[in-house]
Amino acid sequence: MTPQRNTNATLVDLLDRVLDKGLVIHADLIVSVAGIPLIGVNLRAALAGMETMLKYGMMREWDERSRAWEKEHGSKQEISLLQGEDVILKMLGACYSSEGIYAAWKYGYLYLTGERLLLYRENFGEVLFETPLVKIRGLVIRKGEYFTEKKEREELYLLLEGDKIARLSALDVAQLKEAIEKRMNELGYVLDKEPATPVFEERGAEFLTHGEQLICGGKMWYLVGAEGIAGQTWSPGHLYLTDKRLCWYYDFK
């Protein structure tokens, strides 16, 4: 038989698919000796990254207990400020990180000081994100989705030097944006009034070509033609408009 899927996959591809999409196993195992069945095992298991587990309603009680215990017993380390540096605003927040094989939100406290913006995780004394205010070229508020609930939230996009984009979430995004703009105005830094920030799409890296920019996208069903013994089938996917083409993408193929 000829494989119907791309076999040029690596271990990284496998880990990425398991962590992001998850794997559900239903299996019956029978152990026999001399043709006589002795032991039967009915196996039901789910394997996925924690963010995917929580997204589909699994292990939420464990997650809540772990967070409550860590909040009560975790040792917090105060942030180290530069000499003469004052905190203008402190707020619960997060930044989106796509480094490595697993993309996820990293949570901590957002600190706006007189010269920089940073995200700090007190329990580990770790700076998760940092940028000097002078490197911020524009600010845009956009809608995003909670990974555990089907509802929208506001996210703050920072356009940085070198056309880099930082994606932040906060307890009050509007207040954070206003505080950054006010401080930058005091320092005499000029922000772009209508910065050209690209549309953020987690699946984009899987099909965009070099230099191709995503303009917009959304969920869309597509009637897939007959293949093998299977007839025409409606499949869920995403329709994308880029600066070069219009395409429908189905990330399970």
Q: What is the pLDDT of residues 94-137, one digit of tens each?
A: 998 866 556 678 999 999 999 999 999 987 788 999 999 999 99
Domain count, the chain: 3
- Residue 60 and residue 16 share a domain: yes
- Last residue of a domain, which of 74, 95, 124? 74
* Tokens (6 digits) for 167: 């994606």
Highest-confidence range of 11-25, 80-94, 134-148, by mean pLDDT? 80-94
Count of other CB atoms within 10 angstroms of residue 112? 19
Q: Where are the alpha helices (DSSP H) in the chain?
A: 11-20, 50-55, 60-73, 173-187
Kindly state the average pLDDT of the residues 36-59: 83
What is the DSSP-derived secondary structure letter of residue 227? Answer: B
- Last residue of a domain, which of 22, 44, 74? 74
**Is 125 domain-assigned?**
yes
- Last residue of a domain, which of 26, 55, 74? 74
Containing structural domain, residue 62 = 1-74
Per residue in 129-146, pLDDT (tens digit) is 999 999 999 998 887 765
pLDDT at 1 (0 to 100): 45
Residue 45: phi and psi, rounded to 5, are -145, 155
**Is 192 domain-assigned?**
no
**Is 194 domain-assigned?**
no
pLDDT at 184 (0 to 100): 94
- Residue 67 and residue 82 share a domain: no
- Residue 86 and residue 64 share a domain: no
- Residue 178 and residue 83 share a domain: yes
* Tokens (6 digits) for 207: 């099909």
pTM score > 0.75 for this model? no
Furthest C-alpha separation in the chain: 84
Per residue in 135-194, pLDDT (tens digit) is 999 998 887 765 555 567 788 999 888 878 888 999 999 999 999 999 999 999 988 877
**Is 163 domain-assigned?**
yes
